[in-house]
Amino acid sequence: MGKLPFVVEPRLPSIIEEIGSDESGKIQIERKGYLTVGERAFSQSSMEGVDVHGTVFSLVKKIAAGLKCTKEEAHASVTRLITDAPSCDLDEKVQENYEEDLTTILSLLVESQKRKELVQAYTLLLYRVDPTIQVSDVLGQHPDLISGLSKLFEEEEARSIKKLEEAMPAKNEPEVKEEAEKK
C-alpha cells in the first residue's frame, strides 16, 4: 500500500497485542484504535440476512391482533419476557399463547450473537493476520480466542485508544515541569 502524504502523522501508532488464553493459545494482532473502511464494510455485509428485529416485529403484530392490545404494549411484553419473567397479566397471556414464537426469538438472538462474534473474529484475522484464512479455519478455534478477537473488534469499532495510550512511553515529570516553567 502506498504511503499517504500526511501533513500531520497519526498521533498514536498501532501496537501489536496478544489475544487468547493459555487454553486457546495466543496470537499476535495489530491494534490500530479504529476499524478500516474495508473491515467495517466486510463485517456489515457478512451480517446481512440476520433479521431478529423483523421476527420480533411480526410477533408484536400477531400479539396485538390476537390479544387486542396496542403494538407498544405487545412489544413491551415481548421485551420483558425475553429479558425477565412475566410481570403482568399481558405477559402471562403472551407467554401462554406465543411460547413457541418467544423460543424462536430467543434462539435467533443467541445465534445472532454467536454469528456476530464469529464474523468479528474472522474479519480481524482476514484483514490483519492472514488474507488467505477461511471461515472453516476460524470455526474450529477455541471460544477464548474468538471472544478475545470479538472484544478487540468492538473496541476498535468504538475507536477506543485507551490501550494505545497505555502503550505510549510516559513522559518524565521533571521535563514537563521544566518546559512549563520556561513558558
Amino acid type, 32: K
Q: For 84, what's the count of Cα atoms within 13 Å in the CB-facing half-sphere?
A: 8
Give the residue among 95, 92, 122 at the shortest CA–CA distance from 106: 95
**Residue with grid cell 500531520, as numbered in its chain:** 8
Residue 50's pLDDT band (boundaries 50, 70, 90)?
Answer: low
pLDDT of residue 52: 85
For the chain, helix (H) and strand (E) counts, in that order, are: 9, 2
pTM of the model: 0.75
CA–CA distance, 94 with 86 (Å, rounded to integer): 9
Across the chain, mean pLDDT equals 88
- Asked if 112 contacts 51 with a C-beta cutoff of 8 angstroms, the reply is no
Domains of the chain, residue spans: 15-50+120-182, 52-107
Displacement of CA 24 from its chain's centroid (Å) = 20
pLDDT of residue 2: 64
Residue 83's pLDDT band (boundaries 50, 70, 90)?
Answer: confident
pLDDT of residue 182: 53
